Structure 1
Amino acid sequence: MAESGPFSTSTAFCARCGSILPLLQEFGSVKCYACKGIYDAENFSNLKFKYTVNFNTVSVVTHENMLNRDDPEGPVVERKCPKCGNDRMSYATLQLRSADEGQTVFYTCVVCKYKETENS
């Protein structure tokens, strides 16, 4: 590392100011956003990342199980599905816009799995 400092550090944190270092994008060096300390790429050669991507399972909705489907994807509220007319939809929320704006609500019909969003 080019800089040394008062912090006990790993390669993910700046030894000079303790800030999180940006991810190494290309070979070369990493520059701390806060104090502008520069670190050689060799310091990051022992880092290994493991990513796990989980996919939803595919389920087939048949006429027999369409009316008795009882495996919602989240909490269920009384909301009419515009596609099939069922009065139960599950929902999930996520903050997609800036912090001073409302959250986005994702609704999923428990019968036909139709999805719609609402910005609250």
Structure 2
Amino acid sequence: MEFCDECGSMMKTEGDVWVCSSCGAEKPRSEAAERQAVTTQGQQKSEVVDTSEVSSEDMGPTTEAQCPECDNDRAFWEMKQIRSADESETRFFTCTECGHKWREDDH
């Protein structure tokens, strides 16, 4: 990803140049620099953590949340940053009655 030196907007590629979609500034592409760019392809995904043997005291705080399985109105909750840092955290819930797990993302 490249950002414009003139206005700071994100640039796009057009052939062998980067072009700013806001102000139209251009700069040449560098094959060596693009080879060193970090991508999310091939990175490890988050793993599932088994909480089936954790006591309710150790599960953490609860909140009012409607379980989609049993309609109970309390759930343990936890927030984790699973996407890039410029996106909001994901909220994970575990029903206090049936143990059903679900998540809630901001869109």
Normalising by structure 1, report the TM-score: 0.44
Of structures 1 and 2, the one with the larger relative CO (CA 8 A, separation 6+) is 1
Larger radius of gyration: 1
Q: Which has the higher strand share?
A: 2
